[in-house]
Amino acid sequence: MVVKTLGKSILAVIVITIICGIYTLIVSAIGQTFFTSQANGSLVRSDQTVRGSALIAQPFTSKKYLWGRQMDITVGDITGQKNNKNIMYSVASQMSPNDKSYQKEIIDKEKTIKRLNPNATYRHVPIDLVTNSGSGLDPEISPTAAKYQVKRIAKARHVSVQKIQRVIDQNTKTRTLGILGEPRVNVLETNLALDKLSK
């Protein structure tokens, strides 16, 4: 009885070690070998400096930059261990679309976006410029939302609308495998490309 129980225990340890240890090492090795960028956070670099991650949104407010999805930025009590600075993090909206305060918030955001983009290509503000994403950290917007901002960016950078649109087109990703998702523009990558345009 004792030998039988001991055997089962040893077998359980071996199986758990394989699942939790060896399997994890194999997956990590595959990730670091074939998907190095993704395995390390999809970091975006410019001039040998990490500017952010292609997977996490950053708030851009300057008129010369492409603006992303709305972010509810909260400065919490979380502090960095190295520099002891507050860390900002975003949260998704928990309001119902039928909530009166949420509807007012959307209308106010729309008015602000229209005021800051007086010569916009479209009459109506694209929905992704006035609403939060599900995660609150969506790094991408639709090509329509990007095109809406072209004239403002061109004016702020003193370059032609065509040049700005060309940069956006170059940074527009198509549907994954041709069928999954929608065409999208990564805000951080596009803004870094816009900075290179000005150099």
Q: Which residues pair with 89 in a beta bridge?
A: 74
Average pLDDT of the segment spanning 3-28? 84
pLDDT at 12 over 50: yes
Sorted by where each begins, the domain ranges of the chain are 2-36, 57-198
- Looking at mean pLDDT, say which of 29-43, 117-131, 180-194 comes out highest: 180-194
Average pLDDT of the segment spanning 150-155? 95
Q: What share of the chain is helix, strand, coil (3-state, %, to 5)?
A: 45, 15, 35
44 vs 90, residue with greater confidence: 44
Contact 132, 71 (CB under 8 A): yes
pLDDT tens per residue, range 39-75: 777 777 777 787 777 778 888 889 999 999 887 655 4
Contact 145, 126 (CB under 8 A): yes
For residue 78, which phi and psi values (nearest 5 degrees)?
A: -70, 130
43 vs 17, residue with greater confidence: 17
Average pLDDT of the segment spanning 11-29? 85
Q: Give alpha helix (H) positions in the chain.
A: 2-17, 23-34, 36-39, 100-116, 143-148, 150-157, 161-170, 187-198
94 vs 114, residue with greater confidence: 114
pLDDT at 194 over 80: yes
- Looking at mean pLDDT, say which of 43-47, 129-133, 165-169, 177-181 comes out highest: 165-169
**Burial of 114 by CB count in 10 Å (0-12 exposed, 13-18 middle, 19+ buried)?**
middle
Contact 71, 59 (CB under 8 A): yes
pLDDT tens per residue, range 169-179: 999 998 988 88
> Would you call 158 helix, strand, or coil by DSSP?
coil
Q: Which residue has the tokens 């602000």?
A: 112
Distance separating alpha carbons of residues 28 and 36, to the nearest angstrom:
10
User: Which pLDDT score, from 0 to 100, does residue 77 have?
Assistant: 45
**Burial of 56 by CB count in 10 Å (0-12 exposed, 13-18 middle, 19+ buried)?**
middle
The mean of the pLDDT values for the chain is 82
